[in-house]
Amino acid sequence: GNNLDSLEEDSRGQGPGKSPGLLQDANDRMALMQKLQRDTPMAIAPMGGGMPMNMPSEIIVLHGMFNPSQVNLASDPEFFNDIHADVEQECRKYGQVVKVWADQASPRGDVWVRFTDT
């Protein structure tokens, strides 16, 4: 596997566990998906549990939605509210949106979106 991402994090002094809210690995993503799914419980198999790769999901993650190095909440306190509103408005074109969550600690500018399952 390619450990470039973890090497970059370590070189910045932000190794695993030092950035609350940062999704470090697949298990963190699964935990987040479970939290987002709390309204409609669903059995999520642990990694390696034989979960089919083509299983449809009503949760998507959008990368590159903001540049974390340019976020300045002091000068723009509504920044993440604006991101939330813009993403929700655009995603409604593709289905009913249940929740939008911007990972403020994401180095990639990730925003998660949960659609209804209908």
Mean of the per-residue pLDDT values for the chain? 74
Instruction: Name the residue type at position 75.
Output: S
CA 110, CA 64: separation in Å to the nearest integer?
6
100 forms beta bridges with 113
pLDDT of residue 56: 73
Rounded to a whole number of angstroms, the distance between the first and last alpha carbons of the chain is 36
Stretch 92-116: mean pLDDT: 95
pLDDT in tens, 15-64: 444 444 555 566 666 666 666 655 544 454 455 555 556 667 899 999 99
Tell me the three state secondary structure of residue 113: strand
Q: Could you tell me which residue, 27 or 85, shows the higher pLDDT?
A: 85
Tell me the three state secondary structure of residue 98: strand
Which domains are assigned to the chain?
A: 4-115 (3.30.70.330)
